[in-house]
Amino acid sequence: MKAAIQGIAGSFSHAAARALAGPAVEIVPCETFGDLFDAVVGGEAKIGVVPVENSLAGAVTENLDLLFEYDLHCVQEAYVRVELCVVAPPGVALADLRSAASHPVALRQCRRFFSEHPEIAPVAVYDTAGSIADLMAGQAAYHGAIGSRLAAELYEAEILRSGIEDDPRNFTRFFAVTALEGDQPLERPKTSLAFVTEHRPGALHDALGIMSRHGADLTRLESRPIPGSPWEYRFYVDFRSPDAGRLEACLDALRAATHDLRVFGSYAEAQPPLG
């Protein structure tokens, strides 16, 4: 099974691809999330692995827009723990490190580690897995790198310390999206969709009332400015349904009461690693 991911081998998206499609998954690395969606539409990959939400950073807003823009279907969800490891080439000890590279967001999540090791200078680079790949290829001006356990294994770096992120409650939720002929049967317990409400007081309340009356149990509600219409909002909703019949009736009623309703798909509910 080929899975398109944003980033390179060893990224957290790669770990998600393994969780979604098994350890034998073959990844198709893409530079941008737009390229990822294109790879699935163009058939270069069977599924796309799309981060949609992080427990610390919130929604991956670019992907909410892309889900709306592309006609792909969400068929699965998975959670991946963002565990950060400081790594170096074999033989280098933690005490020898004078610099460690990663993406600025990952560096900021390791404040405690850097304050305990003032001799190690943080170095900003493009991505976490790339910092390890470049280090191990001998192409880097830094001595260590910070990224996933998977990247350390793939690039044969040594893990000097694992779990150096400040907050261990750091999880990312991913969707597997795929191209389907025709409509997807909506028979799985969890559904994701988006809609736009009329701009009048109470319009969102009315839409949520429809969902509530059809037994929908909201697990997430996200508002997102509509690209090209600053400060107008589209609502992204994830919810559980009691059964397929009530789900269909709910969608029919929602379609009549909102604009631009898009059902991304129904899928089995996954559990986050904690909580």
Residue among 82, 27, 30, 73 nearest 53 (CA) = 82
Residue among 45, 216, 251, 263 that touches a second copy (CB under 8 A): 216
Residue among 49, 211, 247, 250 that touches a second copy (CB under 8 A): 211
Q: Is 202 in the site for a second copy (CB under 8 A)?
A: yes
Tell me, by CB under 8 A, how many residues bind a second copy. Answer: 45
Distance from chain centroid for Cα 152: 21
Residue among 227, 243, 259, 268 that touches a second copy (CB under 8 A): 227
The pairing of beta strand 121-124 with beta strand 99-102 = parallel
Q: Is 23 in the site for a second copy (CB under 8 A)?
A: no
Q: How many CA atoms lie within 13 A of 176 on its CB side?
A: 27
Nearer to a second copy, 77 or 87 (CB): 77
Nearer to a second copy, 178 or 197 (CB): 197
Query: Segment contacting a second copy (CB under 8 A): 36-44, 58-66, 88-96, 176-184?
Result: 58-66
Residue among 25, 11, 273, 46 nearest 131 (CA) = 11
The pairing of beta strand 229-240 with beta strand 190-196 = antiparallel
Can you list the alpha helix ranges (DSSP code H) found in 30-160?
33-41, 61-69, 104-108, 111-116, 128-136, 149-154
Measured CA distances, 7 to 3, 104, 168 (Å): 12, 15, 23
Q: How many CA atoms lie within 13 A of 255 on its CB side?
A: 8
Contact (Cβ atoms closer than 8 angstroms) between residue 28 and residue 44: yes
Which residue in the list 174, 195, 239, 264 is annotated as catalytic?
Answer: 174
Nearer to a second copy, 60 or 152 (CB): 60
Residue 171 is among the residues annotated as catalytic for this protein = no
Residue among 22, 42, 209, 245 that touches a second copy (CB under 8 A): 209
Which residue in the list 128, 172, 197, 258 is annotated as catalytic?
Answer: 172
Q: Give the C-alpha separation, 228 to 153, whole Å.
A: 43
- Say which DSSP state 270 is in: P
Handedness of CA 138, 139, 144, 146 (dihedral sign): negative
Q: Is 220 in the site for a second copy (CB under 8 A)?
A: yes
Residue among 249, 234, 232 nearest 191 (CA) = 249
Q: Is 274 in the site for a second copy (CB under 8 A)?
A: yes
Residue among 6, 55, 76, 148 that touches a second copy (CB under 8 A): 55
Query: Segment contacting a second copy (CB under 8 A): 2-10, 85-93, 119-127, 259-267?
Result: 119-127
- Closest approach of Cβ 117 to a second copy, in Å? 17
Residue 258 is among the residues annotated as catalytic for this protein = no
Interacting residues with a second copy between 82 and 111 (CB under 8 A): 103-104
- Closest approach of Cβ 62 to a second copy, in Å? 8
Residue among 26, 217, 243, 269 that touches a second copy (CB under 8 A): 217
Footprint of a second copy on this chain (CB under 8 A)? 55-59, 61-62, 103-104, 124-126, 167, 169, 171, 201-202, 204-205, 208-209, 211-212, 215-225, 227-233, 235, 272, 274-275
Catalytic residues: 172, 174
